């Protein structure tokens, strides 16, 4: 057996709620799918091997391999499948038996039962092992226990998850399908279960074992099929989920990465901020209970120790009226056709509205390090919005008064607040016009545009 180590809390309650007291103290573990109960020995645990033992079938074994691969992709913990014999014995075994519940698993430890997982052999829940179904979810959940994750709803060890995060949207280890659910049983529609580790599962595994930044460390492109929900990574299909639902979290180890939703024709909400959600077609939203839709389809992983390598940098919208939001690094956001609304947030972003009447929203403090490039601003069709919570010297919400706009290199009187330099393409905000305050660069536009105050709105 591999050695174990104690686990200290991280300081984040929603991470700590998923931690057992013990983890494996090894860079890698081996696992097997025993063909016989003889490998378990006498006086084993709850006597599972002597109670209707059944090896996992190929679909179940494949689901387990996929779950192990998911863990290895986010954390520095590798897994090797072995064929057990009298010489080679794994840390983790997975098999079926006539157990009273659907499944259970033993936590990391120093005796032979530790790390083993058992599944009810006669249960129809494990007949279809595709992602999105109950069977695949249970395999991920139990293997999570095998490597040191506890139930997020349990009050023991470091306490439960906070009420606003205690749901399958954030962890596969809680019994609550949605925020506020009773937790007595899962309430998801048959194909509405999580298809991956979720954001706090990933964070908890990384707290115990470290983050794996070698996963998709290049310039990776992620796409999803609008008809089946199947994800593809750099053009490689990842397998179709059940029922055209998408409910997953993306972990990416580095590079300059892109979410490509250009194949969608409906309105999308695309949010690249860590811990935030992207929503695609409403038909692909998982129902976590009666009239309880998931808050989105695709969640971004949380940052591990503030490391920015896992951030997704870019997004391509579809042909609907999309809402697109960047994050704290340089983003490239392309709206495509449709009347899109783009928020760059921090960083020197490149914003392209595409065809349609697009809106570019500025609601972060202007600076040279935070000046976006609007690559295709159309005076005829597009509008720039300023949030007066940030741009405090602008008038009340509504149209920008003509007296507050000026075309030139600098303000020409004290009422000027928005200045467009047509020779350079620079767009400035000035707190006091010709007063003592220095104008702040907001964005870069094309040169020589015939912009007027009518191209701006205050919100």
Query: Where in the sequence numbering do the catalytic residues fall?
Result: 142
Q: Three-state SS for 104?
A: strand
Q: How far apart are CA 258 and CA 312, in angstroms?
A: 6
Q: How far apart are CA 322 and CA 259, in angstroms?
A: 14
Which candidate, 345, 409, 408, places its Cα nearest to that of 372? 345
CB burial of 246-283 (b: ≥16 within 10 Å; e: otherwise) equals bbbbbbbbbeebbbbbbebebbbbbbbbbbbbbbbbee
Residue 9: both structure tokens together = 């809390």
Q: How far apart are CA 187 and CA 184, in angstroms?
A: 9
* Strand-strand pairing, 298-300 and 277-278: antiparallel
Question: Quick check: 64 and 33 in contact, CB under 8 A?
Answer: yes
CA angle 65, 69, 74 (to 5 degrees): 155
């Amino acid at each position: 057996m591999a050695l174990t180590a104690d686990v200290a809390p991280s300081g984040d309650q929603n991470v700590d709620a998923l931690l057992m007291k013990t983890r494996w103290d090894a860079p890698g573990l081996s696992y097997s799918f025993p063909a016989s109960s003889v490998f378990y020995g006498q006086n084993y645990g709850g006597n599972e091997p002597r109670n209707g033992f059944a090896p996992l079938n190929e679909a179940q074994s494949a689901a387990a391999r996929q779950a192990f691969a998911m863990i290895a992709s986010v954390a520095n913990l590798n897994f090797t499948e072995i064929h057990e014999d009298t010489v080679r014995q794994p840390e983790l075994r997975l098999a079926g038996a006539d157990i009273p519940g659907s499944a259970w698993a033993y936590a990391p430890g120093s005796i032979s039962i530790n790390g083993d997982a058992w599944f009810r052999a006669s249960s129809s829940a494990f007949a279809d092992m595709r992602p999105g179904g109950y069977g695949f979810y249970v395999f991920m959940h139990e293997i999570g226990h095998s490597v040191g994750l506890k139930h997020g709803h349990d009050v023991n060890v470091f306490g439960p998850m906070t009420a606003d995060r205690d749901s399958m949207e954030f962890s596969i280890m809680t019994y609550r399908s949605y925020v506020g659910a009773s937790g007595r049983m899962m309430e998801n529609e048959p194909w509405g279960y999580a298809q991956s580790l979720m954001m706090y599962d990933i964070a908890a595994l990384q707290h115990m074992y470290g983050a794996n930044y070698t996963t998709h460390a290049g310039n990776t492109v992620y796409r999803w099929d609008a008809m089946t929900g199947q994800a593809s990574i750099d053009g490689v299909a990842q397998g179709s989920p059940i029922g055209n639902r998408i409910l997953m979290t993306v972990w990416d180890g580095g590079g300059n990465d892109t979410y490509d939703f250009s194949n969608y024709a409906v309105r999308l909400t695309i949010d690249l901020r860590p811990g935030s959600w992207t929503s695609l077609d409403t038909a692909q939203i998982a129902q976590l209970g009666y009239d309880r839709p998931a808050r989105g389809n695709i969640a971004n992983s949380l940052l591990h120790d503030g490391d920015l390598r896992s951030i997704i940098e870019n997004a391509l919208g579809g042909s609907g009226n999309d809402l697109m939001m960047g994050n704290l690094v340089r983003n490239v956001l392309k709206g495509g056709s449709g009347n899109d609304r783009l928020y760059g947030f921090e960083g020197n972003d490149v914003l392209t509205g595409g065809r349609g009447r697009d809106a570019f929203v500025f609601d972060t403090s202007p600076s040279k390090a935070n000046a976006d490039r609007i690559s295709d601003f159309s005076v005829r069709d597009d509008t720039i919005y300023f949030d007066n919570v940030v741009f405090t010297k602008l008038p009340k919400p509504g149209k920008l008064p003509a007296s507050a706009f000026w075309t030139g290199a600098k303000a020409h009187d004290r009422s000027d607040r928005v200045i467009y330099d047509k020779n350079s393409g620079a767009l400035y905000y000035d707190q006091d016009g010709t007063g003592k305050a220095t104008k702040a660069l907001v964005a870069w536009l094309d040169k020589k545009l015939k912009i007027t105050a009518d191209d701006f709105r205050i919100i």
